[in-house]
Every structure is written in C-alpha cells, then in structure tokens.
Amino acid sequence: MKIVIFYTPKKKYVKEVLKKIGECAERNKLEVIEFDGDKEHLKEFDLAMVAGGDGTFLRAAYLVHAYGIPILGINLGGLGFLTDIRKEEIEEVFKKMTKNDYDIEKRMMLRATHNNEADYALNDVVLSTEKGRMIELEILINGDFVTNLRGDGLIISTPTGSTAYSLSSGGPILTPGTNGFVITPICPHTLTFRPLVVSGDSEISICSRDSVRLMYDGQRNVKLTPGETVHIRKSEHLLKVVKIKGKDYFQILRDKLYWGNR
C-alpha cells in the first residue's frame, strides 16, 4: 500500500506524529510519502492520511476526492469531527489497516457552478457579506422560488458539514448517510426563516442582489457581483473516508459535543 500524507507544519506534536507514522509504516511494510504539491501525482496512491485539524482534512479531501482515494484523519487540532483518530491510536490504526479491519464511509460532496466554472466542498458552500452590511439573496430549489433572504449570509451544508458552521448558526445535525442538504441562514433579518433540510437530489440556485463572498469549505473564495447566480447540487464524486471499527458516529458526537455531561 502506498500512502500520501498531508500535514500542518505548525501544529503541535506534528514532528512526533510524522515520526510515529513513519515507524509504523516501516514495520508494516507500507510506503508513506509526503504530498509534494503536485495534484497529478495523487493518482499513484492507495490512501491519503491527514495529520492536522479539520481544515487540513478539508484541503486534502478537495484534492483527492475525484481520484477515489480513501482518506483517514489523525487529529492534531481542536474539535476534530473529521480527523477523529487520536495520535495515541496511530500504532493500532496501522495494525488494523494491514488486516483490512476498517470500514469505508462514502460522504457526499457539493458541486457549485458559477460562471460555468465548478468547485467542490465537503462541508459547506457559504455566501456571506463582504462589508459587514446586510445582503439580499434570492433562493430557488429545483427552479421553484423559495424566498428572498435578507441577513448576513447563507450556508448550504452536507451531512458532514452539518456539525460545522451550520451547527454554530443554529442548523440541525444530519447523520453522514442522509441524502440531504441543510440550508441555514446567517443572522436572518426575518426571525421566522429557520434552517431548511432538502433532498440531496435537489439543485439549489442562489442569486445575489448585492456584492457577496462565495466560499468553499472556508478554503477558497470568489466574489459575486449583483445579479450573479450560483447553482449548488450533489457532486458526482463521493469522498471515501476510512473509519476504524469500534468508533461509531454517535460516540464521536458524545465525545466532541459533551452530550450527557453536566
């Protein structure tokens, strides 16, 4: 097995973790190579490994998803919904990988088209104000008019992204296998506009009435001028996420969100 590794150089413990990964890979006769920045080389790998936080995972997911390469995350950040493997578990993870004792979860991604150019997101596509002023967005689903939103912006999230920006803006949590999107307003001027869950087979079109910032997973952004429209739907590609057996989704929610604690 040939593994490409993405990491955040400034993260605490990163040198220790990279050393541990190298030692475990050598013991298990696996080849580990750091990502060299050339996207074309990714097709040569069998697995992508991320050592960092969720931001590093999102960057790696954007690069590898179209190649169908499974991705595994080791958490060196804070919350770590995506990078759910602790650094203390690295040795055990390599043992399970060599025995094929793991599962592959297929996660939905978003495809957003603007001016005939497409971009992709694992968590969310966000339209937000540029200058701290209220903006107006026209929202359509499958061509049907929904409403004109006045507020600070709008989040379109996948089930994976429902525990990110959308959650902090009052949106619901969707389990990873749900075929749906969450449309979550950011500080809507109309207080009755609540988050909306729609089918994952829908096309969501958003027309800007003002200058707004269009962001993909908080990583890449473009400017929309008044009158421009972005079309968002499910990507033709699914992201393959490696999940070590014994860690279920609700355990992760309990651990990360402190459910049941007083």
Is residue 208 located within the same domain as residue 244? no
User: Does residue 52 fall inside a structural domain?
Assistant: yes
Is residue 83 located within the same domain as residue 145? no
Is residue 223 located within the same domain as residue 123? yes
CATH number at residue 91: 3.40.50.10330
Is residue 230 located within the same domain as residue 167? yes
User: Does residue 139 fall inside a structural domain?
Assistant: yes
Residue 257 has pLDDT above 90, yes or no: no
Query: pTM (2 decimals)?
Result: 0.93
Percentage of the chain lying above the pLDDT 70 cut: 100
Spatial neighbors of 201 by CB under 8 A, at least 6 apart, are 179, 234
Residue 226 DSSP code: T
pLDDT band at 128 (very low <50, low <70, confident <90, very high): very high
Is residue 117 located within the same domain as residue 224? yes
Whether residue 218 contacts residue 56, with contact meaning beta carbons closer than 8 Å, is answered with: no
By annotation, the residues acting in catalysis are 54
Whether residue 206 contacts residue 148, with contact meaning beta carbons closer than 8 Å, is answered with: no
pLDDT confidence of residue 188 = 95
Is residue 18 located within the same domain as residue 84? yes
Looking up tokens 């002023």 gives: 133
Q: Which residues of 240-261 are buried (b: 16+ CB within 10 A; e: fewer)?
A: bbbbbeeeebeebeeeeeeeee
Per the structure, the count of domains in the chain is 2
Tokens of 24: 């475990």
Residue 150: φ, ψ to 5°? -115, 125
CATH number at residue 158: 2.60.200.30
Residue 246 has pLDDT above 80, yes or no: no
Rounded to a whole number of angstroms, the CA Rg of the chain reads 19
Is residue 88 located within the same domain as residue 191? no
pLDDT confidence of residue 6 = 96
Among 80-84, 118-122, 152-156, 236-240, the least confident range: 80-84
Is residue 169 located within the same domain as residue 97? no
Is residue 225 located within the same domain as residue 246? no
Q: Does 131 or 203 have the greater pLDDT score?
A: 203
Q: Is 131 helix (H, G, I), strand (E, B) or coil?
A: coil
Is residue 7 located within the same domain as residue 77? yes
Q: What share of the chain is helix, strand, coil (3-state, %, to 5)?
A: 25, 40, 35
Look up the domain containing 36 and give its range: 2-108+238-257
pLDDT band at 1 (very low <50, low <70, confident <90, very high): confident
pLDDT confidence of residue 226 = 95
CA distances from 197 to 121, 162, 186 (A): 18, 11, 15
What is the rounded average pLDDT for all residues in the chain? 93
Beta bridge partners of 204: 141, 232
User: Does residue 120 fall inside a structural domain?
Assistant: yes
pLDDT confidence of residue 248 = 83
Is residue 95 located within the same domain as residue 9? yes
User: Does residue 262 fall inside a structural domain?
Assistant: no
Most confident of 64-68, 137-141, 255-259: 137-141
pLDDT band at 191 (very low <50, low <70, confident <90, very high): confident
